[in-house]
Chains A and B, each alone.
Chain A
């Protein structure tokens, strides 16, 4: 690889810079695993403690939207891989296209999530002062929805950050003269995006699918 990003002063060469950036992203993702992990733990503990109420509550999530969103994210990971490949082969148009498509998938995810939240808030399921739930103990059901909004909300925040980064990178891909400079960065953004996708792959079955009867 000839001229990649200019090598920062602390590094000897481009290879060292790229390796350091990659390791940095992996370590960062490890911290994210622990960050989400604590929430997953809390959810699991309460699911085991109140299985019946959590089941009834989970049936109020909109499985159609959840399923479509899962499909969207999986597809977006595929287009992200194509973007990474395009960056590697220095194909500018392909890179910009795939970055934009991935970002659009991300936006679609957020929009659908927004619809779902609106519907659930309309039904009085947001754990604030207007919460109402008749089928089971409202206190416990409220806890389900608290964890639901918290976990999916934090995930959505990560998706939003990803979409913004995708946009920025698409712009850079349009404007930069030396496309090689983006190769490592796009690769690492890909890692981040795949991570966000994997979190959803765990979130979706745990919240939407487990023990669902309707």
Chain B
């Protein structure tokens, strides 16, 4: 019986967080069900019992304050409880573990472009290994999109000009819908695909079953040379440019006096809008913009490369 209901009303529970989200959902369902049924039952009962002409007692006025306080304070306490519970799960959903595999996602009207760390690209599909956490690093090339995997209970807007993260650990093999969930124009309804979660041997087979080229890091290294980045930022550069070894994840002092952490967004903006955040000590600000010359996937590859650069503080001072 529950299996039947399950097919009809419950979406598959395919990520580790799905269980916690469902627990919250059903808890809320029970609570709200009780309140809704309670109110409706009270209304129906009162209407029947006190209908005109019935012989129940009538009373024009009642004491209001004790009841008012009761039915204000009790819901308040319950709601705060739900907030804390839901907030805790949400907090967990916002912090990807360090060992999560990073998969790059670029959305554009009306398709998803995916790149795995080993360089393998996919369109509208993501193949994943079961029981291993995955972090999607996402951006859009044009308007706001959204990656929604109902089976995982995760969703995140994909915004142009910034990076957003969505992470999950798939716990069940299978094929699950991936939907775009932020209206983006004509092809919004067809901008979807599939997440394929595979067991280890199937995944290994899929991984090997390809003539892939270079990994993300290798691609980034190639771009770093080919597009002239090494000319100023490389080890043999003669131009005064900020060193990039080990920069990722560390603080950078800007010319305005502010300090920022060099994360994906910072590096993205430094490449495409170099005049936005100028590093302290580089007043000449010679870096040209690569806006229009590098696609979002290429920027992601460069970021992958920069992340991998050694943790020494070398480079041209």
Contact = CB atoms under 8 A, between A and B. Distances in A.
B255 A52 contact: yes
A137 B275 contact: yes
Contacts of A137: 273, 275-276
B256 interface: yes
Interface in B246-261: 255-256
B256 A140 contact: no
Interface string B256-268: 1000000000000
Interface string B18-38: 000000000000000000000
A24 interface: no
B256 A136 contact: no
Nearest to A53: B275
A174 B273 CA distance: 61
B36 to A, nearest CB: 37
B276 A51 contact: no
A137 B273 CA distance: 8
Interface of B: prevailing SS: loop
A59 to B, nearest CB: 16
A50 interface: yes
A135 to B, nearest CB: 10
Interface in B81-101: none
Contacts of A140: 275-276
Interface in B219-245: none
B256 A52 contact: yes
A46 B276 CA distance: 12
Nearest to A49: B276
Q: Which of B256, B275, B278 has the most A CB atoms < 10 Å from its CB?
A: B275
Nearest to B276: A137
B312 to A, nearest CB: 31
Interface in A118-149: 136-137, 139-140
Contacts of B276: 50, 137, 140
Contacts of B278: 52
B154 to A, nearest CB: 29
B275 A51 contact: no
Nearest to A52: B256
B285 to A, nearest CB: 9
Nearest to A136: B275
Given A136-B275, A140-B275, 10 more contacts: A50-B276, A51-B256, A52-B255, A52-B256, A53-B275, A137-B273, A137-B275, A137-B276, A139-B273, A140-B276
What 6 A-B pairs are tightest by C-beta distance, nearest first? A137-B275, A52-B256, A51-B256, A136-B275, A137-B276, A137-B273
13 contacts: A50-B276, A51-B256, A52-B255, A52-B256, A52-B278, A53-B275, A136-B275, A137-B273, A137-B275, A137-B276, A139-B273, A140-B275, A140-B276
